[in-house]
Every structure is written in structure tokens, then in C-alpha cells.
Amino acid sequence: MALRKFDPYEYTSQQELEEKDVQVQNAQLYRTYLAEENEEEQVKEVLFFVGIAAFCVFTVLFSFVFLSMDISAFWSFAFAIIGSLTLLQGYKMINQYRKGMKKEE
């Protein structure tokens, strides 16, 4: 526990010193958690995890397809990861393009 810097010349009387000690003892040691009220941030957070889940699902599907075509396991998983990333990034680019077209109208 860190020691307080005590300067005896800071307080003029014993009563002020005791009052300061009482204030320190009564100080709240922690703050209660306040949830974010911003719904947009919550939606972005959920979509982030949905993106991770979609990447996992697409990786499994692509790896199944590549493994069923008798491609070696290393290359199957490598192509599956590349395919999943390409698919998700393509989806994001198409979404942004659509949003840009709607703003122009």
C-alpha cells in the first residue's frame, strides 16, 4: 500500500487533520459500472462478433469443399482462410458501395 505524503505544515490544527482523515476514509474506493447508452456502438460490437462467427463458419465450409476435392489439408485450410477473408471483405465493400449509392440519391 502506498504511503500518503504527509506534510505537517499543511494543516493548522489537529481537528483539520482528523477531518481530512475522515474524508479519506469515507471516499468511495471504486466506481459503479455505468452501461453505455449508445445503441449504435452496441450494434457495432455485436456485428464485430457476428463477423468473426461468419468467418469461422465460412472457413469450415470452404475447408470441407477443398478437402472433399482431395486437396492436401495444408492447402485446403490455407485456401479456406483466404476464401473466407475474401468473401467477408467483398461483402463489406458491396455494403459500403450500396450505402454510398443511397446517399447520392
**pLDDT-based confidence at residue 100 (cuts at 50, 70, 90):** confident
Cβ pair 80, 55 in contact under 8 A: no
Return the pLDDT at 36: 65
Residue 6 lies in a domain: no
How many domains, the chain? 1
Classify residue 20: in a domain, yes or no: no
In a domain, 34, yes or no: no
pLDDT in tens, 18-61: 777 767 666 666 667 766 678 888 888 999 999 999 999 999 99
What's this model's pTM, rounded to 2 decimal places?
0.60
For residue 77 the three cell numbers come to 485450410
Whether 20 contacts 11, CB under 8 Å: yes
Is residue 63 one of the residues assigned to a domain?
yes
Domain boundaries, position 78: 39-104
Would you say residue 44 lies in a domain?
yes
Is 72 inside a domain boundary?
Answer: yes
Separation of alpha carbons 48 and 55, rounded Å? 11
* Structure-derived torsion over alpha carbons of residues 65, 68, 69, 75, reported in degrees to the nearest 10: 70
**Confidence class for position 1, pLDDT limits 50, 70, 90:** low
